[in-house]
A and B are shown apart, each in its own frame.
Chain A
Amino acid sequence: MELKYPRSEFLEPGHLACAGCGAALAMRLALKTFDEKTRVVIPASCWSIIAGRHPDATLKLPLIHTPFAVAPSVATGIRAALDRLGQRDVTVLVWAGDGSSYDIGFGSLSAAAERNENIIYVCYDNEAYMNTGIQRSSATPPGAWTTTTPYPALKKERKKDILGALLAHGIPYAATASPSYPQDFLAKFQKAMNIQGFRFILVLAPCPTGWRMDEGKTVEVGRLAVESGVFPLVEVEHGNWKITHEPSWIPIEKYLEIQGRFISMEENERITFKKAIDERWREIRGRT
């Protein structure tokens, strides 16, 4: 599989991410598919920090920071203004964490999707409120330790199916992507770029700090998530589902055991975890 994409680097060295940050890796990779005109909209998240403190901007694109819950709405305003100015070729990219996407900004995300705003929305999902110091979000998987789900009160509930929720809006394109699979990742961003309307890409962004793992294993843990079936790589274009990478079905334990956050996981939580994944795959198989 040969991919053509610019060798451009819009993310410069010296950003403020933790070592091994999956969200920084994902941004660097994703931006290879965007051009220099792109407007980047970032709500409160780790990326509010990673992008740098004035005057040290590490992202060489026009970037606008927003409060937590409103990035899709600010992006809507920018889109509308650009269209009024005749700059329809300028892409508007929202880059948001799971805290704003799954939780506090879910309302504005849903509204922008329902209006089919012509923007690309990326949720970089590190499965907890990492910027405030690892608190549970509705993206946190069952059995995970966070500072608000300390042992023995580990997260009980299953992870919210945000892809399913967004697809219920009838948006033209939605996909999952992992920076551990750069070709698949870039192909999806390139496809999204050539579709009009609301495009949603869910990126699993491993977080060594919050997942309690070695910072050298970001790419590896991403692969384990995909190969164990925990994070299915799919895309849905105009309602047509496609599995873009078939997992090799390694045991889920391989994914769990290299992360400290799952170290105290008990049997019933393991069952909830696996059951949710089995059901997800049944659903995916049913649609593809």
Chain B
Amino acid sequence: MKRLFGVFVNGLIVENPLFVIMIGLCSAMAVTTTVANGIGMGVALTFVLVMSELIISLFRNLIPESIRMPIFLIVIAAFTTIMDLEMKAYFPALSKSMGVFIPLVVVNCIVMGRVEAFSSKQPVGDAVADGLGMGIGYTWVLLALAVVRELLGNGTLLGFQIMPSSFEPMIFFILPPGGFLVFALWMAASNDLRRKLLAGRKPAPTQDSCCTLPDNSSAEKA
């Protein structure tokens, strides 16, 4: 039980997918113009992540090594389709405002990366705990971004007016450059904090295979 909790907490801060492993950033900046969108995207990704990790972990001994990638892709795509249809049916407005980023969950590196690196090797309990941890780790960062952007860019939170009426909304923050800026500042804060907490100890580097070439590039060998 304690071990499962450790796996769960890992995704929240120590290996936070957005701030530390730095994957799945596209949707994080694109949908966080409002807090409601941020929550919607977080829940959607957590659902796909947990379900895919669960299924892959259950079948981990049956999946042949050589064709594992296509199988992972199909499992993830199936859950993304389910989630997309559910969203369209029950939250049509939310689904419309997130647009193409809902189907893009299928190529979100968080899902592919965790399935490949974690649940294809670990028992079911750990895989689900990891999925939940990573999903919630992703969601809280989305909330952190969305709160700043909606509050400064629109003067509201979840649609309710928060700022006094004399406050002139700074549209900049809900436009794309504002997204990049807020993320850069949050990330700087998180890095600074980590550097202080981990002073002396060097954290193990995390490799993300879906965004950068491995160091000894395969082309040289080929």
A binds B: no
Using CB atoms and an 8 Å cutoff, list the residues of chain B in contact with chain A. Answer: none
Using CB atoms and an 8 Å cutoff, list the residues of chain A in contact with chain B. Answer: none
